[in-house]
Structure 1
Amino acid sequence: MNHILGFIGSGNIGQAMLGGVLKAKLLDNSQIIVSDVDQQKLEFVHNTYGIKTTDDSRVLAAEADVIILAIKPGIYDVVLHSIKDLINKHQIIVTIAAGKSMADVESIIGADTKIVRAMPNTPALVNEGMTGLCCNANVSAAELQEIKVIFESFGQAEIISEALIDTVVGIGSSSPAYVFMFIEALADGGVRGGMSRNTAYKFAAQAVLGSAKMVLETGLHPGALKDMVCSPGGTTIESVASLENDGFRSAVIKAVKVCTDKSKLLSSK
């Protein structure tokens, strides 16, 4: 890539993306600039990655070809208003925030701006992120593919319609929290059976990791993989029956729905 890539914000997600891009060698250090109001974060980023940093987002906006807004939704409008006069029709603005539609961004910086909306999740921190991507009509297919490559440097990415972005929040961006709860609950079961807490976490987390890889790498239906573990009259089918009786799957489906509904509510404000 021949772009100058800018990150406004250097929190966990911003640093995860930055690290992924550099590790994948998509760009070298001289092609990246980071801005943040937190001087400690800027110092850490500069010392860790050897890239240019600034505490002025306008400096970044004047230099970067692709600008990733890795900031909290609550300050999006303030930041966009501060840089809008520097944005030109050739730059690509990448947003990462629930409740901030492309139309919201266009209303501030102009309808002729190239905008990509991305919805990643926290496993990006360990290069296993999952991101949903969509764009407005000003972004070409080739440009969207280049942005997709950036997000694939720290996980996987899928191009979707913006109409599905709230569902992505429910099943992708927020779902690591559900999985962490499941791992914690599995570990609690292990502790109840006499296992140490640390050992129980290791067993539970590795079971989730391995199971997820089986779904992704075998291409088999999750139900078929479940059936492979369930011997007739065995221990696993007994626990599966217990989970079904307690509404395990319906609870997860409901959790995704309420999360999606909340995201839609934020988008409507």
Structure 2
Amino acid sequence: MALRVLTALLGLPVLLGAVWLGFPYLTILVGVVALLALREFYGLAPELATYRGLTLIGILYTLLFLVGGQFADPWYQYSPGIAFAALVFIAVPWLMARRGRNGKVAMVPFVVAGPVYVGFLLSHGLALRELDGGADYARDWLLFALLVTFATDTGAFLTGRAVGRRHMAPAVSPGKTWEGAAGGFVWSAGAAAGLGALLQLGTPVWQATLVGTAVGAMAQLGDLAESRVKRASGVKDTGALLPGHGGLLDRLDSIVFTLPVVYYLVALVLKPSS
């Protein structure tokens, strides 16, 4: 537990500082994180090591998604992006579940799934930060998305450890409980209300709180989806890069599901009028 907290205390200032400074610092950080996470993703299929050409294609597409998120506004003209994000939420766990049943994986779909899961979904963070040329409200909404996601994960973890009794999905993630999920929702709503009052979001606190509950739901869905991926691949953690946490994918599982939701809500509904 102490190692988990220490890693968070060391990493969080770097992340928040990059978000505050924006381009190019955030772009570089997201690029490095995405490539390391892609490496972990491909590590879930050891047989992929013999297909180096395919992995290089995956790296290229991941970088292209990030470039698109950095410089395209609106990102994917909204509607196609929403449809694509929804497809990812469904397709990645399904793809890995099929692999878990038959012990094989179709290389090309798996290679494509990596950049989409890591690159496309993470690129929404860059797109969110660059709304209206990197306006203050865009910076604060990205901070909001990240901090509420972290609050959800922390609340679910602590509540589950303290009072968790009823398992949510024992076949997928034995440690997750309904009590922990409820705690995650409470923490997400509380964090959203507090941040809504502190940050320059350009929206009332009650709206920020509603967005926070959506973030709480998607964060826990993302956590379960990645647990399904790991279970299908027969691993507990995707790596050991973050002491006390596991791999990068183990920490990104919630974030990649919450960033698209916050981006589209802000860009389509909550964007302050100029």
Q: Normalising by structure 1, report the TM-score.
A: 0.25
Q: Normalising by structure 2, report the TM-score.
A: 0.25
More strand by share: 1
More helix by share: 2
Larger Rg: 1
